[in-house]
Chains A and B, each alone.
Chain A
């Protein structure tokens, strides 16, 4: 019987291909859009994820997400270090400044100030130059995409000088970072240097980065830090999620993307569903004949589900493969999409979604078969 079902499926090659393409296209649409959405959301927390050394981020309790800073007093570092269970704590600065260059360029950049003594939070993927050069006076490290963004026609070259807050900053290295949400160039400097690159304020410290002692879970330590100092403390994971959550809750991005994804979902489902529905309907006569020779309804249902499963799996495989190819290519070569990838959750989710659609549609279409009068076969 299953053989007959497959033969029915392959019998009309145009329909067979149509089914597979429909499902493939739906899969591609769903997984690609969702992955880009996830990628963009991850970018909002990119600078949090780029700090690999710390377990915990400590900040003013009023801070809602990474880009919004309410500075702490400088002694906050000492106060946090004094909390039992803190292995070490270092200052971290984040700010926005306007960079100027001799060629008249004007560009808003994201300035990150890392601890002078330990360089905690330094970029890990250096493309050019040496991280230690950051210890030189007036030195900064810029991210590669930022450089290409500012000077699209120039070769990357060390020693380029920009002006931040009327002070000289020499680019001593290029690194690769997670591009920020708004794709501003990222510039790293030492904390003390960063203080010179931003207008003076009474308080400057953005975050204290903390490592938990051995045998101390970061979550517990967060509670202790909050209890003792009154500052807010999150693990890097919590903090990244909080930032993502803020973007989701406070910007139009999720709605827009949600609509796109939903459209992709609907279009994909519609194509897959409609094609499959037509396929079943057009094969109604065959099913009638089967019924006439005494095949049970359950058996027919199984046959339809098998057909659905086959086209579903093949279509999904092709679609997800195309999506993976898309990200393999663009994630490495297109700066605007750098770092975007196909998360396994998206791949799995797309599979579940596609299979659900296909199976639902097949069950829906098969209703007609179940109630069909076998005599239909003989009616011409």
Chain B
């Protein structure tokens, strides 16, 4: 039925093909069974170096905490005196709000003060020296008038007496005597009048010499003081238009530029942030369930995120005594309160780690006191 050759092929061919297939399967199976590779993470994570420790998420902040600079007044910003990163001493001007209106008001007030002062000075200058001689002259004239009236009265009386004597001898008529009697009366009246006039002139001179009326001077003085107070008021308002550094520190953020409107009060985005960056502080959030394991003064270490080979020891400063709801630091949408955290403040020498304020770091806090991890202060050098 089959030739001898096909018989041989049949007898050995099938086992050979089978052997080939088995080898192929073996290779395939062995190749598929490569052991699972082990990789390190693409970027080194923070590795715990303490035997027993508490881990926390920290945020770098100035040792003065972040000072969110606010403005007392709202207004358009005219000039910003500092830029980000500037070191500023206390009371250094940071930015200036629009002050033309206040300056104009100041000019008005100052002018008003000058007016008030001049008015006071005028009152204080009384009496005018030029007015006294005419008054004295008027008094002298009045007195002269009085002397004349006295002399005239004496003359009339003598004449009356002469005619009365003459009347006794019938040398003068009754009519003539009566006429002279009236003349004496008239002279008396004239003397009285000139006496009054002298008294008037004397009083006028005295009034003149007394100067300004005291209550009026006091009123003018009060007016001067009020004008001064008003000037001070405007000056203070003007001063508030310039925002100054509350303490020595570094300007960390500037969110306001010349021409923008600066709103007074608490803002979601502060106008400026400043703080003291030497030393830096790290505010570490410890989950409340771990809080019991954190001791004051325990050694701790901070690791930079993204390259944990940068790490450095940090020094305990204090606890925030109030445990707060955790504010999510993961940069997500809004604020998510899910658990409460104990905040522990540590001091970091900024020379040890290349960190910026506001950066997140991983923190490991030893559970045992006075045990620094074996590795050196900073790696890599």
**A: which residues have CB within 8 A of B?**
10, 13, 20, 49, 52-53, 73-82, 84, 86-90, 115-120, 122, 124, 131, 191-192, 195-196, 200-204, 211, 213, 229, 313-318, 320-325, 327-328, 341-344, 347
Contacts and interface: CB of A to CB of B under 8 A. Distances in A.
Contact of A196 (B14, B44, B332): B332
A247 B332 CA distance: 33
Contact of B337 (A78, A115, A202): A202
Given A13-B2, A79-B55, A341-B32, A118 B42 contact: yes
A318 B43 contact: no
Instruction: Give the size range of B's interface with the partner.
Output: 35 or more
B45 A324 contact: no
A317 B42 contact: no
Contacts of A81: 46, 48, 55, 362, 364
28 contacts: A10-B11, A52-B36, A53-B41, A74-B330, A75-B339, A75-B341, A78-B290, A82-B53, A82-B55, A82-B290, A88-B41, A88-B46, A90-B45, A115-B45, A117-B43, A117-B45, A117-B308, A118-B43, A120-B42, A191-B330, A204-B332, A314-B15, A318-B18, A318-B21, A321-B20, A341-B28, A344-B29, A347-B25
B10 A13 contact: yes
Contacts of A76: 287
Contact of A321 (B24, B38, B43, B286): B24
Contacts of A119: 41-43
B287 A120 contact: no
B17 A86 contact: no
A229 B332 CA distance: 25
Interface of B: 2, 10-11, 14-15, 17-22, 24-25, 28-30, 32-33, 36-48, 51-57, 285-287, 289-290, 293, 305-306, 308, 326, 328-334, 336-339, 341, 362, 364
B105 to A, nearest CB: 49
Given A196-B332, A317-B21, A347 B29 contact: yes
Contacts of B2: 13
A10 B36 contact: no
Contact of B39 (A53, A84, A201, A213): A53
Given A88-B46, A320-B22, 16 more contacts: A76-B287, A78-B57, A79-B290, A81-B48, A84-B53, A88-B308, A118-B41, A118-B43, A119-B43, A204-B336, A313-B18, A318-B17, A320-B21, A324-B28, A327-B32, A342-B25
B6 to A, nearest CB: 9
Contacts of B51: 84
Contacts of A117: 43, 45, 305-306, 308, 362
B45 A118 contact: yes
Contacts of B38: 52-53
Given A53-B40, A78-B286, A192-B332, A344 B47 contact: no
Contacts of A53: 38-41
Contacts of A313: 18
Contacts of B362: 81, 117
Contacts of A191: 330
Contacts of A323: 25
A79 B287 CA distance: 7
A74 B326 contact: yes
A115 B364 CA distance: 18
Contacts of B24: 321, 324-325
A203 B332 CA distance: 11
B41 A120 contact: yes
B37 to A, nearest CB: 6
Nearest to B46: A88
A321 B21 contact: yes
Contact of B339 (A49, A73, A88, A89): A73
A20 B290 CA distance: 68
Nearest to B52: A84
A211 B308 CA distance: 15
Contacts of B57: 75, 77-78
Q: From B25, B30, B38, name the one whose CB has the most chain A CB atoms within 10 angstroms.
A: B25
Nearest to B14: A314
A73 B55 contact: no
B44 A118 contact: yes
Contacts of A122: 42
A52 B39 contact: yes
Contacts of B33: 343-344
Contacts of B48: 81, 86-88, 213
A34 B128 CA distance: 128
B41 A82 contact: no
A322 B28 CA distance: 11
Nearest to A49: B36
A249 B33 CA distance: 27
Q: From B55, B286, B306, name the one whose CB has the most chain A CB atoms within 10 angstroms.
A: B55
B333 A342 contact: no
A78 B39 CA distance: 23
A328 B329 CA distance: 48
Contact of A327 (B14, B28, B39, B332): B28
A73 B293 contact: no
A141 B301 CA distance: 34
Contact of A317 (B22, B328, B332, B337): B22
A79 B18 contact: no
